[in-house]
Structure 1
């Protein structure tokens, strides 16, 4: 067994109705003025106002920024940082999926140390602690509340850049399953499969450790056995709890073990064609799993048993059984079958492949990959 280390420096509150603990957390951190980062979608269904009311009921001032979009850009980060500084806020509440949390982390960095977010691109360039962030996920998917990365689209390069540093981890996370129980089926599906892929890639990663394996396996169990049920009925409280806990554990797993080719390849798809992150991952999933089968050391069967329907016995496992089961899961959840269905054009594949190779996740993939391999994987998924 190779050496490994881990730490979980966050306070995490989980439970139906746990939002009520937000004011106590803010007061514990002497947060007299909060900067709430979210989006207009959550505003339209009343979630933003719910959080605002909870904050302001305790006489805590709240400035709100709602211009976050999927695949948030450098310009959005710059705008949000300017408003944060002008507001006089001293802490950030990030409400939503991965996009508001990525923006919150980036704002926290720039508010603390200045410069441009591109100055911090790469690993461990944030010099110290940032503005305290309280993360409140409204999807069971990204795990961003426990991950040490912020992914921001640099439109000048058509490139999704990553800032990776344990300094940008949110200080607190509140996981209230009630917040995901009104999600549309399509969002529940794409976010849920994204969380499953986080656990799956962390489990197959070359950087996997007994600690990340423990988190990944429990995440796959919770998500694999509940994702269909949750997409079918988001008001199923038991399924919602399983999905939210599973997403969180998957985030902890991949924050320590990294991911693989699926995520490395999905980021350019989102950057070039604005495809939602979870959808891009899900479409690439069967192709990359089939490619990685050559390196399987028994873990494919473990994954298969977490996601397959029913408990019927089978004689002998072959990796193609997992590929077929994944394709069936995608079909059940309404995931597009190919990259062409989400607008990807073949002529962009060489450029996307070059960008994918810039991701450190390529190095964690269980099967080594070069530029030609990535090009062929894109073409097969097309």
Structure 2
């Protein structure tokens, strides 16, 4: 047995933990802080709360509030130019994966030459980055504790990832109170994103005993609490558990990587700007059914983990998880591809593009063909 497992997260978890932010900023000796967030965080009043905490540290602030879903290279370069001109020395990213991923990418360009696109891949960031404090407001991407940031290259029309241990946030403040304002639809989509991470990392061909433990533990917590959080956004026990499950899962998938579900989701986001969590959730049940023949024992393991009763017939049991995930997506109101604006004539192009996604290299079932991807897309349509 031989493997590597990287974890580099300093986490403060719990309600009202945001009020520890001033002390954290003082520990870093911050003088000028850039706050990175989107319009939704601002509208919910979360940005105001975080800004007030930053001000208590008696530091200057620069605000970048133009975060968009699926951040682009252009947005990274724009924000990095502002940060460099202002002399920013610490970042505070507030929001979901888009805000945190954008802040990671900006941070790369503070100490490394541009353009950002040259760092797409694994371990290509040359120099250490500045302190970044991540304050997640969703339980989905786990971006707050991973070494990954996902960006859109609008010229090549692809979604790509920068994977480097240097870009993991220096500090994480997980305050479940910040998730209370998430609409049910966003809670559902981001929660299914986290479940996708748990499932895909467990069956990844890079999985190890440590990643497997995190993936299964995270899956159980997320599966048990997502319907509760969607049904009642003020259920703080469910909200806390979703944040916890997201973190645990993140430790698994950031080491084991992901697979075909994410390959399809990346392509959908690049071409049609679909929200990442929704794109994952839409195709997840069908990809899991497709992958079942390559790892039936692991499919049965996951089914048993979430409380499904095994028959003892592996040929049947390997499909229990995919069937349950399909039922769960329907219960949570996850939209089909057609309901998200995808046209049937788009599917051929999408299937072709998916084959170029690097994450397919980690998928348990190899040799995926265009026809197989197209069949999955038709089922999700």
In the TM superposition, 1:254-269 aligns within 5 A as 254-269=253-268
Please state whether the residue corresponding to 1:173 is helix, strand or coil. strand
Q: Is the 8 A contact 1:225 1:306 kept in 2?
A: no
Aligned length, in residue pairs: 377
Instruction: Compute the RMSD of aligned alpha carbons.
Output: 1.6
Inter-partner Cα distance in structure 2 for 1:314 and 1:265: 30
The equivalent residue for 1:335 is: 334
User: Are 2:36 and 1:37 equivalent residues in the alignment?
Assistant: yes
Q: Is the 8 A contact 2:108 2:125 kept in 1?
A: yes
In structure 1, runs of 5+ residues without a counterpart are none
Inter-partner Cα distance in structure 1 for 2:8 and 2:319: 39
The equivalent residue for 2:287 is: 288
Inter-partner Cα distance in structure 1 for 2:24 and 2:354: 39
Inter-partner Cα distance in structure 2 for 1:371 and 1:256: 28
In the TM superposition, 1:148-187 aligns within 5 A as 148-187=147-186
The equivalent residue for 1:316 is: 312
Deviation of the 1:356 alpha carbon: 2.4
The equivalent residue for 2:64 is: 65
Q: What are the superposed Cα offsets for residues 279-328 of structure 1, whole Å, 9 maximum, x if unpaired?
A: 000000111011011112422223223445xx7x5643522322221111
The equivalent residue for 1:357 is: 355
Deviation of the 1:359 alpha carbon: 2.7
User: TM-score, normalization: structure 1?
Assistant: 0.95
Q: Classify 1:136/1:88 alpha carbon distance in 2 versus 1 (closer, same or farther; 3 Å).
A: same
Deviation of the 1:106 alpha carbon: 0.8
Q: Is the 8 A contact 1:224 1:306 kept in 2?
A: no
Inter-partner Cα distance in structure 2 for 1:75 and 1:228: 37
Deviation of the 1:7 alpha carbon: 2.6
Inter-partner Cα distance in structure 2 for 1:253 and 1:314: 25
In the TM superposition, 1:52-131 aligns within 5 A as 52-131=51-130
Q: Is the 8 A contact 2:205 2:363 kept in 1?
A: yes
Inter-partner Cα distance in structure 2 for 1:29 and 1:58: 11
Inter-partner Cα distance in structure 1 for 2:361 and 2:379: 21
Deviation of the 1:347 alpha carbon: 3.3
Inter-partner Cα distance in structure 1 for 2:258 and 2:123: 18
Inter-partner Cα distance in structure 2 for 1:14 and 1:135: 12
Q: What are the superposed Cα offsets for residues 108-135 of structure 1, whole Å, 9 maximum, x if unpaired?
A: 1111112111111112110121121111
Inter-partner Cα distance in structure 1 for 2:355 and 2:311: 39
Q: What are the superposed Cα offsets for residues 8-58 of structure 1, whole Å, 9 maximum, x if unpaired?
A: 122111111111111111111111211010011111111101000001022
In the TM superposition, 1:228-243 aligns within 5 A as 228-243=227-242
User: TM-score, normalization: structure 2?
Assistant: 0.95
The farther-off stretch of 150-159 and 47-56 is: 150-159
The farther-off stretch of 348-357 and 48-57 is: 348-357
Q: What are the superposed Cα offsets for residues 128-157 of structure 1, whole Å, 9 maximum, x if unpaired?
A: 211211111000000001111111111112
Deviation of the 1:350 alpha carbon: 4.0
Q: What are the superposed Cα offsets for residues 195-247 of structure 1, whole Å, 9 maximum, x if unpaired?
A: 01101110111111111011111101110111101111121111111100101
Deviation of the 1:332 alpha carbon: 1.1
Q: Classify 1:316/1:46 alpha carbon distance in 2 versus 1 (closer, same or farther; 3 Å).
A: same
Please state whether the residue corresponding to 1:182 is helix, strand or coil. coil
User: Are 2:146 and 1:147 equivalent residues in the alignment?
Assistant: yes
The equivalent residue for 2:204 is: 205
Please state whether the residue corresponding to 2:74 is helix, strand or coil. helix
User: Are 2:25 and 1:26 equivalent residues in the alignment?
Assistant: yes
Q: Classify 1:218/1:292 alpha carbon distance in 2 versus 1 (closer, same or farther; 3 Å).
A: same
The equivalent residue for 2:243 is: 244
Inter-partner Cα distance in structure 2 for 1:92 and 1:259: 28
The equivalent residue for 1:220 is: 219
Deviation of the 1:353 alpha carbon: 3.1
- Runs ≥4 in structure 1, deviation > 3 angstroms? 305-308, 313-317, 346-351
